[in-house]
Amino acid sequence: MTQSELWSDQQIHYNDNLEKAEALSSAITKVSFEEHEWLQEKLSRAYNDVSFRKMFSFGDSTHFAIDLKALYEDLVIVSKNIHNQPLQQLTLPEVLESFRSITVVEGEAGSGKSALLRKIAILWASGCCPILSRFKFVFYLSLNSKGRDEKLVDVICDQLVGLEGSLTKDSLKNICQSLRNQVLFLVDDYDEMNTVPCEIEDLIQKNHLNKHCLVIAVRTNRTGSIRHYTNMILSIGEFPLPSTLYLLRKLFSHNIRLVEDFYIQMVQEETIQSLFKTPLFVVSLGAYWVQYPDSNMFTDMVILKAYLLYISLKYPQECERLKALVSSCGELALRGLYKSCFDFSEEDLSEVGVKGDDALRFGLLSKFTAQRLHPLYKFLHLSFQEFLAGLRMSELLASEVPENVEKGLWYLQQINTFVKISGRYKYILMYACSKPSDAVPKIISHLLNLINCEESFESRSENDVYLQQTPKLQLMQLQVLCITFRLLPELCHSQVTQIVLKLATELAYQSNMVPACAPMLLTFLSGKEFSIHQFGSKNGFISRFFLDYPESLFLPSRFVTSFTGKEEIVDLSLAESCYSKLGVPVVDKEYAPAFKLFSDVSKQVKEDADFNNSYRSLIPQHLPDSIIAPFVPMKGYKKIPHLKFDASYVKSLQVHDLQNLVILFSVFDCIELRLKNCQGLMESIQTAIEQNLGSFKVCSIHYGTLSVVEENLLLSMTSLESLGIKGLISTPETIFANLDKYTFLKELSMDLPDCQNIFDIIPEGFRQLHSMEKLLIYNVQFQNSSARLVEFMRNFKNLAVFHLKHSDFSEFGALMDAISTCKMLREIRLTGLSFGEKDLLSLAAALPNFTALKVLDLAGLNFTDEEACTALASALSCLVALEELVLPIGKGITHEAKVIVQQCFHIPNLQKLEFNQSLSDEGLLEIANVAVEGGFQKLEFLHLMANHNTTEPAWRTFFQTLSNMPKLHKVDFSRIFTHSIKCEAATVRSFVQCVSRLPSLKTISMIGWLFDADDLKMFDVMKEQHPQSKSLNLTWEWILPFSPIVQE
């Protein structure tokens, strides 16, 4: 064969082999394509299978599940840089487009990581997501309970229905090698175990060679372990409130009313809103609603109990382990809250026996490691921390181990103020009483006893970081409560009674421990004033208690119902005008903060009034059925002792309110009727009054006018024991002309600025009212009728209280003789009168007769005669029972100031001393000397206002000397801004040292004293060590209608 023929044969053979190779290659490609297509179909079926689509968040413990194919709500997903700083928020399409190499999706337990990965697989399987069409294969891998030796192919096949045996190690390897970045691995539960299968570790660590796409879901504490392999970190934020509502509407579309009611509750309760920071809490609530459809479904406690319940059901084989962990986490939570600590170290966990890995796995804690030298642990939510803390407190208090009970009582006793139980600490108590327990009576007993402890009224809250976590609206209410305690102490007991009773009854009922707690609650109610509007509170527990224990209706000293309509805006222009006449203060720059602008205050007053009026206009009824419900069963039976009906700015009542008022009046034996600016209201409620005329014992009418019908109604209340008329536009002469008809009258108060000669109208029979105990006369112009009052007074032998203020009364000598026969007098207030020197001598001569006198108020009486003032000073020593002394003014008083103060040695029960305008330097220093020598042991209030003749050196010596006043509660050393004192450093130092020596002092008013920043800093340093540090308050700013002239 020639060489040419040989080459030709080889060429033919080569061509035959090439054709066979091409045919083989084509066959292999076809087989591979068909296998890929078949596998893709298998995966699609698996991802569309109900076992994959439905998420059973709590394992097999509940049938409640979400079908991710039918229902999914977008999460808040934010991209982060390598320094863990947020970059931008991404939508789901943007998230899908961002998948390159390795992407980490981090989030807390229950934040929706698994749902997101499964949703991606479902979207790919649908074939309707163009963004995901670039991936030929999507493999979902759950690492839950996988070991180190688990094979990648087995991890995939074990989780997908119908895939067993369909995917081999070789075929998977072939797919990965040939398709590279067209393969997407969704790695879930990366942080469920400490061990990750070796093949998956290789998949992650060698991905820079393999070029696949991986999306790895991790909890926040595991991000650090794979951060250096990733090119993108996505963080899941808090679940949006609209998403919560969307899910619930879809899940409970058959019961939209339930979702709407829940939404209303959520809007009202900021705590509930903030609880739904992860979808898992939504799922917990949904599962609870399904399992317990008849329970109270709208409280934060339900949500938290549901979450803990289903966590325990998710791990049924580890109940005891979880129980022990909940207890130790509760100890951690309790310690943290009392220290305002919300972040915990591994050392903190170790101290209470918490194993961090277990707490993370069970979803009790979250762990944060990114950009930190040491890991940080947090509870899932502040409310969850409080919930576990409450459970722990309950466990301790109910323990049979004395040491545990003692520890629980220590924790309980730290919740020791009304501000605390009105703020965030309340939640600890509520969660501690979430179930029947011996702890509940101990907690309620503690609450009810707070009202007997003076320390309970401390109002400072700004230094308590935990307390400041209180929801915004509740925090505003808390601030109002603090202001009330400080400025209106007389309202404290009424306010705190409501707070304590509302909380105590709620705890008793929610824990089903009412029988054990009822005796304590009944004792607490005894002798207290009770607002019937508490029966209308939304939780309804107080009303329920009174219905369950009807004997409780007879325990309060009196019931009170208060109605307020649209208030008139207070006109502050007159006050502004008065200040303007005094001139504009000139101050150095450092003292400018001592002056605040009046217009700002005036504006705030108007805004507050507008807000209150707007709110009141939304109240549909003054007296709804819920408020009178506890009284209805009493109709026709034994009458309840006492009702106070108080109304302001109300002109009439609705028909239904009137019907309920008739019922309310009918069950009371004694009714107080107090009306302020309520023109026409008496006529509006005429039916209710006429049916119960004999029950009206007290009536007080302030401002407005009385119609003829109303005057006749008032005259028909012949059982009245107290009558008050104030500021009426026209004088009700018919009433005063028939005063003698009120044969049971014990108290009469009249404040009639525009009335002349009213005592000429009062009949002679008035003197026969021998039961008269209190006579208050304000702004009455007697002209020629002063003697008539004296005649009446001679017959009132039982008179205990007598006030005469701002009047032209002229028969003071005769009046003093008349009241000298009133041996039971306890209180005399003579203010704003034209007293002469002879009148003062008459008063001084009469004072020794009043050995039982407790209050002597001579404010505004002006005396210049030194002899008369000497007589007054001498007479004061006879008033050994005196508790309140308000001294007059004038040069004579200034001259005798030292002697007057010395008389206080003989008044051991003195609790309040007011020496304003006329105190001399000598008198000021004598106050300090008398105190040092033990003369003011019971003094609580010391008012030395507008004493402009006293000098700064005298005040400095006063501060240096003053001490030994154990009860002193409030001082007022204020001055008019035209006579301000620019304090020298030595004076400030003496003042601060003085305050440090007064252990009970809480309120200091020094308006008109100019303090700079260093002065105030010195005070604050002392305050931290003062026994009343939480309550001590210094007021020193003037509020003026103009700004001061500031000198540079």
Q: How far is Cα of residue 250 from the mean position of the Cα atoms in its chain? A: 34
Q: To the nearest 10°, report the CA torsion of 381, 384, 388, 393.
A: 100
pLDDT tens sequence across 90-117: 988 999 988 888 898 988 877 888 889 9
Contact between 398 and 438 (Cβ < 8 Å): yes
Tokens encoding 446? 């503690």
How many whole angstroms separate alpha carbon 701 and alpha carbon 682? 10
Helix axis angle for 319-338 and 425-432, nearest 10°, is: 150
- For 675, the enclosing helix (H) or strand (E) is strand 668-676
Q: Could you say which residues of the chain have pLDDT below 70?
A: 1-35, 56-64, 145-147, 159-166, 191-195, 267-275, 292, 294-299, 370-372, 459-464, 467-492, 538, 567-584, 588, 594-621, 1040-1046, 1048
Q: What is the pLDDT of residue 326?
A: 93
CA distances for 679 relative to 613, 650, 682, 729, angstroms: 18, 8, 8, 11
Alpha-carbon torsion 856, 861, 862, 866, what sign?
negative
How many whole angstroms separate alpha carbon 759 and alpha carbon 733? 11
Tokens encoding 442? 């101990």
Contact between 665 and 578 (Cβ < 8 Å): no
Q: What is the pLDDT of residue 696?
A: 96
Report which of 809, 802, 804, 790 is spatially closest to residue 828, judged by C-alpha positions. Answer: 802
Other beta carbons less than 10 A from residue 953's beta carbon:
12
Contact between 781 and 754 (Cβ < 8 Å): no
Contact between 697 and 719 (Cβ < 8 Å): yes
pLDDT tens sequence across 966-1001: 999 999 999 988 888 888 999 999 999 999 999 999
Q: What is the pLDDT of residue 560?
A: 94
Q: What is the pLDDT of residue 721?
A: 96
Q: To the nearest 10°, report the CA torsion of 117, 120, 124, 125.
A: 60
Q: What is the pLDDT of residue 477?
A: 56
How many whole angstroms separate alpha carbon 72 and alpha carbon 76? 13
User: Residue 432: CB partners within 8 Å, gap ≥ 6?
Assistant: 390, 391, 393, 394, 397, 439, 440, 443
Q: What is the pLDDT of residue 244?
A: 78
Burial code of 113-125, b = ≥16 C-beta within 10 A, e = fewer? bbbbbbbbbbbbb
Tokens encoding 259? 């979702």
How many whole angstroms separate alpha carbon 583 and alpha carbon 371? 61
Amino acid code (one letter) for 496: V
Report which of 1006, 937, 936, 946 is spatially closest to residue 971, judged by C-alpha positions. Answer: 1006
Q: What is the pLDDT of residue 948?
A: 92
Alpha-carbon torsion 336, 342, 344, 350, what sign?
positive
Other beta carbons less than 10 A from residue 15's beta carbon:
10
Q: What is the pLDDT of residue 306?
A: 75
Question: Which residues on neighbouring strands pair with residue 982, listed in sequence order?
Answer: 1010
